[in-house]
A and B are shown apart, each in its own frame.
Chain A
Amino acid sequence: MSARLAKGGRLIDRSKAHRFTFNCKWMRGFEGDTLSAALLANDQMLVGRSFKYHRPRGIVASGPEEPNGLVNLGKGDRLEPNQRTTTTELFDGLTAESQNHWPSLENDIGVVNNYAARFLPAGFYYKTFLQPRAAWKHVFEPIVRHSAGLGKAPKDRDADRYEQAYAFCDVLVIGGGVAGLQAALVAGRSGARVMLLEQTGHWGGRAPVDGVEIDGQPADAWVKTTVQALEAMENVTLRKRCMGAGVYDHGYVLADEKVADHTPGDGRPKHRLWRIRAGRIIAATGAIERPLSFAGNDIPGVMLAAAVRDYVVNFAVSPGDRTVVVTNNDDAYRTAIALHQAGLSVPVILDARLTATGALPEQARKLGIRVETNRAIAMVQGGKRVKRVSICAQAGEGAVLEEIACEAVAMSGGWSPVVHLWSHCGGKLIWDEATACFRPDAARPPLNHDGSAMVIAAGAANGALPAADTLADAHRAGEAASKPAGEAPKATAAEEAPMEAVWLMPQGAPVKLRAKAWLDYQNDVKVSDVQLAAREGYESVEHTKRYTTLGMATDQGKLSNINGLAVLADALNEHIPQVGTTTFRPPYTPVTFGALAGEARGEIFQPLRRTPMHDWHDAHGAYWEPVGLWRRPYCYTQGGESHEKSVHREVLNVRNNVGLLDASTLGKIIVKGPDAGRFLDMLYTGVMSTLPIGKCRYGLMCNENGFLSDDGVVARIDEDTWLCHTTSGGADRIHAHMEDWLQCEWWDWQVWTANVTEQYAQVAVVGPNARKLLEKLGGMDVSKETLPFMQWADGMLGGFRARVYRISFSGELSYEIAIPASEGRAFWEACLAAGAEFGVMPYGTEALHVLRAEKGFIMIGDETDGTVIPQDLGLGWAISKKKADYLGKRGQERSFLADPDRWKLVGLETLDGSVIPDGAIAVAEGKNANGQRNTQGRVTSSYHSPTLGKGIAMGLVLRGPDRMGEVLDFPKIGGGSVKARIVDQVFYDKEGAKQNV
């Protein structure tokens, strides 16, 4: 049984008890406990099930590397899946549930997978794809689906808020152990702006647990003094519970501060995401202990040696009365000694090395602990918890020499520096043979903008593992990031003899044992799986990772990576550095989406652009449609009518009376200067320089490839000024496009541009009664004679300063009136009042679309998709044949764009009057090389036309204009098809009689 000890526990406060539940069972812990410590104190050894085989899983670690202790934390709108018990601080009322079990943690039916293990080898997922399709659907998919998924996704809206903060510093120190503290102290004393981040809720890291002394005082005392010194410096900022998540280009760092995870509902933001720009980054992120690979190393009760030490020293938690220690290094002896000092039994220390004569082994022997060298664990016995271990010679193949009963096993395979932050931006690693680990190669750091080292690794993260080296190395790192600071403090700890790399225990373990020796606990990857992958030809470590899923669990290989790599290297008969590591990518530990989103949720998810008439629309039944960052009314509903009915009503009212459209979102760019005409001639396919003052001309813009990019009406304002209308979504893009060519290609041309889209409100007055409405407003002559089609005029209209364009996107008599934005709402209401007697109604974007489709007008983004040239759309008339050059002209001269077999624009009329699904594909005879049906066209716009009482569509069809009258077949999703005849795309008023009145 694991239990709470009567005395000790440097981080807990026994005067403050907390009650919490695990799987609905009430338990008790103390202030200062992690959830892991509290669970172990309540003898909750079993905390979860593995991903693939649903094997029982217990807590292995004491930090963020924990692969097994994952819970659904909280409930309802505060439910968070996959929270690590080792990093969750206990609070009163905490509720946690284990994951990946069914129906219960104790009795999991999925454990059947365990017995089917030989049918679920490495690459199982990929291999199932090779089977017949039916096998995947009926056999494998249900199994995989049932096994898949860890925590539950929360269903409710997150009750918490999150915030983001920006910070700038000269030196950012990540990691608040003794190395980070010393580096921060050195940098702080130099006067530099320093930030120091620590992922846990307390300073000092491992040193106090490991009995280190610094300058003659216990580490705890030194930590306290140093933190006080740092807190007293105005140029130093300290953040606890703040995890350095990722290092990015040029000193940019993301850090996640867990402000209120341990005090939920107290009104503070749950997390604060720091976006830090640092001159220099010191990675003092410590090291993580490696497991050993022996059979049964996944049974609950088998833990990392340092974690056992942490639970005993920090939380006064015993992992069991009898703990067997198994190691390849001296450091694990500290665990044996700590257990002994806590009054617990260590039946034996199994040391894989041939000799163990260092200070720590000698101390253990003196305490009367049995030490055996050249020994290994052949097998751990037990199901849901450890019962005993069988012991064998490390040099052998697993013949059992002895069995020892115990409740826990403390294992240590050596230490791996946490090199993640060093590596995120390309810092290179070297293999350290003596300590069998990858450590940062100081000669190849990630670089800053000026070519200097961006990251400096410090202490254990730099491979300086013994305490004395750690502190000296951190001092040096602090100096490198600021300036020389004299003598470093001296740390003293027991001298350690060299470790010896052990990648498999015993070294000659037969397959029976290797198939029970786990590398990745969460994803159930065993030594035998990596060896199988190597036999099947997976030589690249990146491929092996994906094939076996090694290191793809939520801990991202923090425990499994190096062990798996070593097994792979051995199987490939290569050296470990030749095989290399997988890529380290941010974040170091998971960052919740809430923190990344910050305040950007709900109404303020993104900026909202409103036209001057926005509020009027909102108050009059607008059904909103997002158009870029704008909101435009899709339609205005009246009474209980459907949106479809609203659209039909609006279309018919435009055709029969008069409609008002808020066209303010239309892009408006002023182009001005002595060379403006010449410039516009390059930008548009047509000629704009010859446009007379007072007139309008429709223009097309292409990119250099020749593909149609935007369209709109251009008005000549005066001798050197043009106003270019763009599509609503295109204004910013086209303005940038203009500036690009002006600044980077024709920089000696005298042209200025201004995007005045938001300076003007624009109202389209459309329909046979449009002129009557304007005449009622009064003040301008809008007659056919004075203001004919495709002209504009300035004047006072109904008392408003107006520019009236006689243009039409509907085929009706139509005026678009621009007024200063501040007068937009008033003008809109004046139009409604003036038009009341003529049947005026507002209409939305969908009616706009239907109206233009009835007239066969194209819409950028519907009829174009970046691969369509104007000639495909029958717009050759808008392309100047005389101009020597325009953007896209050379592109359009490419031979394939003149191919007569291109898909070209036509109208499509269904035989039964129905509406073809938008995007439907017209099929042709035969099949292509992939066995798919050949195609000969697609629908680009499709609507029900209330004017004509039937479905109308436009589409791009192979040689379309040459095939008028032919009938095409458009299969529908889910069976059946629609037949449609190729017709002219102008369905309504072909002669243009209605707009030209």
Chain B
Amino acid sequence: MLILECPYCGVKAEETELSPGYEAHLKRYGPGASDDEFESYMFARKNPKGVHFERWRHVYGCGKWFLAARCTATLEVFGTYPAQTSAPPPDLIEAIKAKRPGWEGYK
């Protein structure tokens, strides 16, 4: 029963208000993409034990999708931010690096 703060409405939403939406910052591969590209887009999703960027929807709240950086092992939440971006905010990256010196980055 995670708590994630919705970056749109500011509500500290309980997991029952949210619906999950797998890995964040995926690049879509459509027609013209190679089999390998399509496979990596559709099936080779990250599943790290540690820092993970993922999509959540505040489905029983404001209805907005947002992104969250979370440790899958300890459930520590590093931050949430709007989904309309193709990369995590730099200050969030810095904050995670400070907390997890060995972290290899989000890519």
User: Which B residues are in CB contact (< 8 Å) with A249?
Assistant: 1-2, 15, 75
B2:A449 contact, CB within 8 angstroms: yes
Task: Give Cα A890–Cα B35 distance, bound, in whole angstroms.
Answer: 9
B1:A248 contact, CB within 8 angstroms: yes
B42:A447 contact, CB within 8 angstroms: no
Task: Give Cα A893–Cα B31 distance, bound, in whole angstroms.
Answer: 8
Interface of B is mostly: loop
Q: A249-B15, A249-B75 are in contact. Are A743 and B83 (CB under 8 A)?
A: yes
- Decide if A891 is an interface residue (CB 8 Å cutoff): yes
- Decide if B21 is an interface residue (CB 8 Å cutoff): yes
A740:B2 contact, CB within 8 angstroms: no
Q: A740-B21, A744-B55, A885-B30 are in contact. Are A451 and B83 (CB under 8 A)?
A: no
Give the one of A248, A252, A745, A890 with max B CB within 10 A.
A890
- Decide if A704 is an interface residue (CB 8 Å cutoff): yes
User: Which residues of chain B in 16-38 are interfacial with respect to chain A, using CB atoms and an 8 Å cutoff?
Assistant: 19, 21, 28-33, 35, 38
CB distance from B74 to the nearest CB of A (A): 4
- Decide if B53 is an interface residue (CB 8 Å cutoff): no
Q: Which residue of B lies closest to A883 (CB)?
A: B31
Task: Give Cα A884–Cα B32 distance, bound, in whole angstroms.
Answer: 9
Task: Give Cα A884–Cα B31 distance, bound, in whole angstroms.
Answer: 7
A250, A425, A890, A893: the one contacting B3 at CB < 8 Å is A250
B77:A450 contact, CB within 8 angstroms: yes
Task: Give Cα A450–Cα B74 distance, bound, in whole angstroms.
Answer: 10
Task: Give Cα A127–Cα B30 distance, bound, in whole angstroms.
Answer: 53
Q: A250-B1, A450-B77 are in contact. Are A747 and B84 (CB under 8 A)?
A: yes
Q: Which residue of B lies closest to A248 (CB)?
A: B1
Give the one of A425, A744, A891 with max B CB within 10 A.
A744
- Decide if A894 is an interface residue (CB 8 Å cutoff): yes
Q: A743-B65, A747-B84 are in contact. Are A426 and B31 (CB under 8 A)?
A: no
Task: Give Cα A250–Cα B18 distance, bound, in whole angstroms.
Answer: 15
User: Which B residues are in CB contact (< 8 Å) with A890?
Assistant: 29-33, 38
- Decide if A117 is an interface residue (CB 8 Å cutoff): no
A451:B42 contact, CB within 8 angstroms: no
Q: A249-B15, A705-B42, A743-B65 are in contact. Are A447 and B59 (CB under 8 A)?
A: no
Q: Which residue of A lies closest to B1 (CB)?
A: A252
CB distance from B20 to the nearest CB of A (A): 12
CB distance from B31 to the nearest CB of A (A): 5
User: Which B residues are in CB contact (< 8 Å) with A893?
Assistant: 31
A449:B38 contact, CB within 8 angstroms: no
Q: Which residue of B lies closest to A888 (CB)?
A: B30
- Decide if A270 is an interface residue (CB 8 Å cutoff): no
B30:A744 contact, CB within 8 angstroms: no
B31:A250 contact, CB within 8 angstroms: no
- Decide if B63 is an interface residue (CB 8 Å cutoff): yes
B15, B59, B84: the one contacting A736 at CB < 8 Å is B59
B64:A743 contact, CB within 8 angstroms: yes
Q: A250-B2, A250-B3, A252-B1 are in contact. Are A894 and B31 (CB under 8 A)?
A: no
User: Which B residues are in CB contact (< 8 Å) with A891?
Assistant: 38, 42
User: Which B residues are in CB contact (< 8 Å) with A248?
Assistant: 1
User: Which B residues are in CB contact (< 8 Å) with A280?
Assistant: none
- Decide if A739 is an interface residue (CB 8 Å cutoff): yes
User: Which B residues are in CB contact (< 8 Å) with A426?
Assistant: 73-74
Q: Which residue of B lies closest to A748 (CB)?
A: B84
A739:B65 contact, CB within 8 angstroms: yes
B75:A250 contact, CB within 8 angstroms: yes
A447:B76 contact, CB within 8 angstroms: yes
User: Which A residues are in CB contact (< 8 Å) with B55?
Assistant: 744
- Decide if A617 is an interface residue (CB 8 Å cutoff): no
Q: A250-B3, A705-B42 are in contact. Are A740 and B75 (CB under 8 A)?
A: no
CB distance from B55 to the nearest CB of A (A): 7
- Decide if A889 is an interface residue (CB 8 Å cutoff): yes
Give the one of A248, A736, A743, A894 with max B CB within 10 A.
A743
A747:B30 contact, CB within 8 angstroms: no
A449, A740, A885: the one contacting B65 at CB < 8 Å is A740
User: Which B residues are in CB contact (< 8 Å) with A449?
Assistant: 2-3, 75-77
User: Which residues of chain B in 27-76 are interfacial with respect to chain A, using CB atoms and an 8 Å cutoff?
Assistant: 28-33, 35, 38, 42, 55, 57, 59, 63-65, 73-76
User: Which B residues are in CB contact (< 8 Å) with A451?
Assistant: 74, 76, 99
Task: Give Cα A425–Cα B71 distance, bound, in whole angstroms.
Answer: 14
User: Which residues of chain A in 357-402 are interfacial with respect to chain B, using CB atoms and an 8 Å cutoff?
Assistant: none
User: Which B residues are in CB contact (< 8 Å) with A743?
Assistant: 64-65, 83-84
Task: Give Cα A468–Cα B29 distance, bound, in whole angstroms.
Answer: 66
Task: Give Cα A894–Cα B83 distance, bound, in whole angstroms.
Answer: 30
B29, B33, B63: the one contacting A739 at CB < 8 Å is B63
What are the interface flags for A869-906 relative to B under an 8 Å C-beta threshold, 1 for contact and 0 otherwise?
00000000000000011000111011000000000000
Task: Give Cα A745–Cα B35 distance, bound, in whole angstroms.
Answer: 21
What are the interface flags for A906-946 relative to B under an 8 Å C-beta threshold, 1 for contact and 0 otherwise?
00000000000000000000000000000000000000000
CB distance from B51 to the nearest CB of A (A): 12
User: Which A residues are in CB contact (< 8 Å) with B84?
Assistant: 743-744, 747
Task: Give Cα A739–Cα B99 distance, bound, in whole angstroms.
Answer: 34
User: Which A residues are in CB contact (< 8 Å) with B1?
Assistant: 248-250, 252
CB distance from A742 to the nearest CB of B (A): 9
Task: Give Cα A927–Cα B87 distance, bound, in whole angstroms.
Answer: 52
Q: Which residue of A lies closest to B37 (CB)?
A: A890
Task: Give Cα A745–Cα B29 distance, bound, in whole angstroms.
Answer: 12
CB distance from B63 to the nearest CB of A (A): 7
Q: Which residue of B lies closest to A254 (CB)?
A: B1
CB distance from B13 to the nearest CB of A (A): 11
CB distance from B61 to the nearest CB of A (A): 13
CB distance from B15 to the nearest CB of A (A): 7
Task: Give Cα A881–Cα B28 distance, bound, in whole angstroms.
Answer: 21
Q: Which residue of A lies closest to B59 (CB)?
A: A736
CB distance from A255 to the nearest CB of B (A): 14
User: Which A residues are in CB contact (< 8 Å) with B42?
Assistant: 704-705, 891
CB distance from A91 to the nearest CB of B (A): 35
User: Which B residues are in CB contact (< 8 Å) with A251?
Assistant: 3
User: Which A residues are in CB contact (< 8 Å) with B59?
Assistant: 736
Task: Give Cα A368–Cα B52 distance, bound, in whole angstroms.
Answer: 67
User: Which A residues are in CB contact (< 8 Å) with B31?
Assistant: 884-885, 889-890, 893
CB distance from A833 to the nearest CB of B (A): 41
CB distance from A238 to the nearest CB of B (A): 24
User: Which B residues are in CB contact (< 8 Å) with A884?
Assistant: 31
A selection of 22 A-B contacts at a CB cut-off of 8 Å is: A249-B2, A249-B15, A252-B14, A426-B73, A446-B74, A447-B74, A447-B75, A448-B76, A449-B77, A451-B76, A705-B42, A736-B19, A739-B63, A744-B65, A744-B83, A884-B31, A889-B30, A890-B29, A891-B38, A891-B42, A893-B31, A894-B38
A interface residues, Cβ below 8 angstroms from B: 248-252, 277, 425-426, 446-451, 704-705, 736, 739-740, 743-745, 747, 884-885, 889-891, 893-894
Q: Which 8 A-B pairs have the closest CB atoms?
A: A252-B1, A747-B84, A451-B76, A447-B74, A743-B65, A250-B3, A449-B77, A744-B83
B interface residues, Cβ below 8 angstroms from A: 1-3, 14-15, 19, 21, 28-33, 35, 38, 42, 55, 57, 59, 63-65, 73-77, 83-84, 99
Contacts A450-B77, A884-B31, A893-B31 known; 8 new A-B pairs at CB < 8 A: A446-B74, A448-B76, A451-B76, A704-B28, A739-B57, A743-B65, A745-B28, A891-B38
